[in-house]
Amino acid sequence: MLIHCVTLKFRDSASAADIETFAQAVAALPGRLDFPIRTRQGRDLGERPANADYAIVTEFETLEDFNAYLVHPAHLALPREPVESMQSVQFRVKVPDA
């Protein structure tokens, strides 16, 4: 399994409605793709001032699915206007046999 973690900072001008629209678009992704993903997301708790504002963690079954996601129209259509900066990392985890 491949894990894709994204942290981002919103622009100072991003409204609560902008952020909610962004969150809804991310939540809709699994139903718009032709391969399975699991996505979790949320706002930072505010415990550390240097933290990002928001995080998204997405699980992909294969590297091929991740690469397909990067160029998929649903991913490319995510609202980018409220986002000031973004960092990401990908790593593999071993899934225990069921």
> Could you tell me if residue 21 is inside a domain?
yes
Which CATH number do you get for residue 9? 3.30.70.100
Only one residue has tokens 């909610």, namely 20
Does residue 21 carry a pLDDT above 80? yes
**pLDDT tens by residue, 42-54:** 999 999 999 999 9
- How many independent structural domains does the chain possess? 1
Q: What is the mean pLDDT of residues 16-43?
A: 95
Q: What is the mean pLDDT of the chain?
A: 95
Q: What confidence category does residue 96 fall into, taking pLDDT thresholds of 50, 70 and 90?
A: confident
77: containing domain: 2-92
Is pTM, for the whole model, over 0.75? yes
